Amino acid sequence: MARYTGPKAKLCRRFGENIFGASKYDRILARRKYPAGQHGQNMRRKLSDYGVHLREKQKLRFTYCLMEKQFHNYFKKAAKAGGVAGDNLLQFLERRLDNVVYRMGFARTRMQARQFVNHGHFTVNGKKVDIPSFLCKAGDIIEVRPKSRSMQFIKDALDLSESTSPYSWITIDKDNMRGSFEEIPVADEIPVTVDMRLIVEYYSK
């Protein structure tokens, strides 16, 4: 399972926001919301046009915890799907099972959600699915497997999550450790702070 293993705090400081979700990065950003390094606080260098496009692409890629090849494949799929490529890309990323598990509050970060899925702790419509990139469809029921319901990490994540989902396309039942992916979200509803136009332009050059 390929994944980013570098310093996550540095990435959060580079982008100026907590792209990974863990509360510890909020505390770091509260103290040092500027790039890491000797000159990070006083950096005045203006990004080139290419640098601006690359930054947006990297920000979205790291937000969903994907390697470059995976991310590029999603873009190619989105570009072929018809309609607006940027919207399609966001919807594909949002439908990933690891992301849905994270959105439902069963994990505190997407990386933790990916690990949980990979270890077989969830079912989709009653069948075990251990592929983080599995794309959920409208109406899919995601549930913690009975043997995994005693896991303290999942319990802790649920304790910190809201009682009702803040996302219109997801409903959750915390008591029964299950949730429903009600519909594929409209791209404008997905809470990411990136300019999708720049990402489309990056791959179109």
Q: State residue 188's pLDDT score.
A: 94
Walk across the sheet containing 170-173 and list its strands.
Answer: 127-128, 122-124, 140-144, 178-181, 170-173
Structure-token pair, residue 107: 């994990």
Q: Which of 21-25, 71-75, 190-194 has the lowest mean pLDDT?
A: 21-25
Residues 46-90 have pLDDT tens digits of 789 998 999 899 999 999 999 999 999 999 999 999 999 999 999
Question: Domains along the chain?
Answer: 8-83+193-204 (1.10.1050.10), 94-181 (3.10.290.10)
Tokens encoding 67:
């390697």
Looking at 26-30, 111-115, 152-156, 188-192, which range is the least confident one? 26-30
pLDDT in tens, 91-105: 999 999 999 999 999
